[in-house]
A = this chain, B = another copy of it.
Amino acid sequence: MMPFPVIPARLEALRLRYASDDSGALADYIPELAKADPSWFGMSLCTIDGHVYDCGDSDQEFTIQSVSKPFVYALALADNGPTAMLERVGVEPSGKAFNSILLDGTNRPHNPMVNAGAIATVAMVRGVDGRFDRILETLGAFAGRTLSMDDSVYESERETGHQNRAIAHLMRTAGVFDLDVEEVLDVYFRQCSVLVTSRDLAVMAATLANGGRNPVTGRTALPSEAVGDVLSVMFTSGMYDYSGEWAFETGMPAKSGVSGGIAGLIPGQAGLGVFSPLVDDRGNSVRGTQVCQDFSKDLGFHLFRNRTDSLPPIKSVSIGSARHSYRVRSIAETQLLKHHGNRITAFELQGPWTFIAVERLMRRVGELDSGFVILETSRIGSVDEVAGALMNEFADSIAANGGTLILSGTVPTRLTGLSTVTFPTIDEALEWSEERVLSNLSPEGRPGSTVTVADSDLGRGLDADAAEALARAGRMMRIAEGSAVVHEGTAARSMYLVTSGHLTASIGDRRVASFGPGAIFGEMSFLTGARRTATVVADAACRLVEFNDIGALSPEIRERVHRNIAVVIAQRLTVANRTMTDG
């Protein structure tokens, strides 16, 4: 079809909602930061499978500042392991401002998300001279591109960072590290001055959401063992003394920085990057905080609210050219569906139905060229409000493009309005779509609504006299809607050719096949005298020809008939095998 505009529109609406909010102020404790344009506002979303949505000033570079902390902490964890890290840097929320000089009861900085802890973390990164290079490389591995530094911000931080100098000297005196204070601070100031965009932050966060593997580049930025530790600390301490309320309200492990960046994520789903330089008095971006809160509230991004599933929202995708319905088809129809069945795609959906699930579905549908989109919804566990709304926009979008959305199975209440066509099973939805596709084709090769013995697959290869003889060997029958023709378990020897109408075969209450004009059924009992394996009921008034004993016909005709039966069944077997191996 085409990419659906639904998700980009949502993101843009969210951005516009806060673009005119001018509250907060530019951070000025580093003079260079006060030169930012207060109107800058970018946001990006990176899914766990590496698709990035950008919005607003998503390519505006800014210095990463404190958003670097969890990523450098990740590097230090990978270098030292959690036990050695815990000896030097705590993991307890401090209840204090980001630049507090206070250490905890054991003379450690409270956690690596406040300045004291971040400076101590720098001292733990391995490599004497190469410390900053390793940090820059790590940040780049998370972002999926080579990053550079803003020299003037670095100079500005280095010249004015008295509070951080005080903190660093205090820690040096307390024995938190024993390196040269200015060297450690220099690396820290450089780290804070690395330039990123909201898109970078989204990819960096998505890398954490993806267990340490960058979903865009496929490269591992962090051993997966360390990811859990980083997320724990982000969740409890990432937003300074606002962390508890943040955890409660947005439910995202996240990190903010005074230059106005926020990186947040939901494990197994996506990473979010927001940039807007106006910050509140805790040092968190005002618009960024609002966007994250709305992401959580309106779009259902919450660690504990939606289970952080890696359960893929799409259980299976079947293209109609490879997977056919159980409708028993003539050889000609089977060929037509093989060529034109790609106009139909059936999706089996599963799991909690959330923003990110709809995002994935729309993206997949957009990549295909199917006018008939079947959604089997029985395995959807729940549908949250935003998913319901997005699915409605998606349905409208399909209709506007001349497509048809078809539902099958148990349909959750929030999705019942999506389509006017709903079937109890995916197979019936497939069959209905196939009929629509076939009827849109030129009539050539299609059996009409009425088929005779002579032009059926059963009479194939017989001359007119032989076909006539075969037809006379059969018995014409009319079947009323709802009547059963054969019954599962009964002894029988007859076979039926459908000349008009439609019937369904079931084993118990399981629908296993359906038959239209030209189809034969009951051939196994006819061939071997075996009991009926299914019950066949007319869905509409039907005409059939029943064949019971063709012993009176010539051996040549009988040979041909048996061969034709073999061919018809072999053809069905081919379709069945294709469905099994592809389905």
B581 touches A580 (CB 8 A): no
Q: Which of chain B's residues has its CB closest to A309's CB?
A: B310
Asked, given contacts A510-B581, A558-B559, A579-B580, whether A304 binds B232 with beta carbons under 8 Å apart, the answer is: yes
Shortest beta-carbon distance, A203 to chain B, in Å? 19
Q: Which of chain B's residues has its CB closest to A524's CB?
A: B570
Shortest beta-carbon distance, A542 to chain B, in Å? 22
Task: Give Cα distance in the complex from A203 to B396, angstroms.
Answer: 44
Task: Give Cα distance in the complex from A577 to B227, angstroms.
Answer: 46
A573 touches B569 (CB 8 A): yes
Q: Is A175 an interface residue (CB 8 A)?
A: no
Q: Pick from A185-193, A214-222, A244-252, A255-263 the stretch touching chain B.
A: A244-252
Secondary structure call for the A interface: helix
Task: Give Cα distance in the complex from A549 to B309, angstroms.
Answer: 59
B91 touches A92 (CB 8 A): no
Shortest beta-carbon distance, A402 to chain B, in Å? 32
Q: Pick from A194-202, A235-243, A386-394 the stretch touching chain B.
A: A235-243
A259-273 CB mask vs B (1 if < 8 Å, else 0) is 000000001100000
Q: Is A428 an interface residue (CB 8 A)?
A: no
Give the interface size bracket for A toward B.
35 or more
B567 touches A570 (CB 8 A): no
Q: Which of A91, A111, A248, A251 has the most CB of B within 10 A?
A: A248
Q: Which of chain B's residues has its CB closest to A104's CB?
A: B95
Within 8 A of B (CB), among A507-537: 507, 510, 512-513, 523-524, 527-528, 533
Q: Is A88 an interface residue (CB 8 A)?
A: no
Q: Is A409 an interface residue (CB 8 A)?
A: no
B304 touches A307 (CB 8 A): no
Task: Give Cα distance in the complex from A181 to B466, angstroms.
Answer: 101
Q: Is A572 an interface residue (CB 8 A)?
A: yes
Within 8 A of B (CB), among A545-583: 554-556, 558-559, 562-563, 565-567, 569-570, 572-574, 576-577, 579-581, 583
A45-74 CB mask vs B (1 if < 8 Å, else 0) is 000000000000000000000000000000
Q: Is A211 an interface residue (CB 8 A)?
A: yes
Q: Is A399 an interface residue (CB 8 A)?
A: no
Contacts of A512 in B (CB 8 A): 577, 581
Can you identify 7 A-B contacts, CB atoms within 8 angstroms? A91-B247, A93-B93, A227-B305, A232-B251, A309-B309, A573-B573, A576-B580
